[in-house]
Amino acid sequence: MPRPRFYRLPSERQRELLEIAANAFARDGFEGASYNQILEDIGLSKGSAYYTFEGKADLFAEVLRRELQAAMDAIPPPEIETDPQAYWDGMRGWFETSLRFADAHPRVVALTRAFLQAQSSGQLPPLTDELERLLAGWMKAAIVAGQAAGAVRSDLEIDLLASLVSATVGILDGDLFARGFPRSPAALEHAVELYLDTLKRLIERRAE
């Protein structure tokens, strides 16, 4: 987390600092971006930066945290349904909306790719843990709603199902961003089908 001095800055100044940093990380990735150059661009000396951020990883974490929170606010989870078909239709719609949002916001895609690349090399462990908890929490709520609708299996513990789903979605995300984000409507539709089919194979309630 940023140091207290960051939060004492005017909100406009906070946004300015993070906007400049976000563009640098999106363009050059986490490893490629120069922390010293970012500090110069945002007008912070190394001495001042020490009292504002703990370092490059802390700055990147705050950038990604805010970008993803804005994305989540723009893509609310599907409404709770009481019918299995309606539940899966809602999940399909949510995947479609999420991927189309990403398609319209290339900086979010670039920052996510930068995070996944840094994550694979063992960097940013606190941020990784935080995002995994966030995703698992959202998945847990979606699973509970799916079980209430009779769409999701109930033979496994909720926490185990949430962990399986969040790990699987994370793997699919990594593959999607590594291969290049799908730009055409057909490619986007294929990605939606992949996410939905994989999720259904993993947690869909089967006829007894």
pLDDT for 203? 94
Each domain of the chain, given as residue ranges in start order, spans 4-60, 76-203
Express each pLDDT in 167-183 by its tens digit: 888 888 888 877 777 77
Q: How many CA atoms lie within 13 A of 23 on its CB side?
A: 10
| CATH fold for the domain made of 76-203 | Tetracycline Repressor; domain 2 (1.10.357)
The whole-number average pLDDT for the span 84-96 is: 92
Give the pair of three-digit tokens for residue 128: 């990784």
Cα–Cα distance measured from residue 54 to residue 68, given in angstroms and rounded to the nearest whole number: 21
pLDDT for 139? 81
pLDDT > 90: what percent of the chain? 38
- Predicted confidence (pLDDT) at residue 208 exceeds the cutoff of 90: no
Cα–Cα distance measured from residue 139 to residue 78, given in angstroms and rounded to the nearest whole number: 12
Express each pLDDT in 114-146 by its tens digit: 988 888 777 777 777 777 777 777 788 889 999
Q: What is the mean pLDDT of the chain?
A: 87
Give the pair of three-digit tokens for residue 20: 């400049």
CB 127 within 8 A of CB 57: yes
Express each pLDDT in 20-73 by its tens digit: 999 999 999 999 999 999 999 998 888 888 788 888 988 998 999 888 888 888
pLDDT for 193? 94
- Domain at 4-60: CATH code: 1.10.10.60
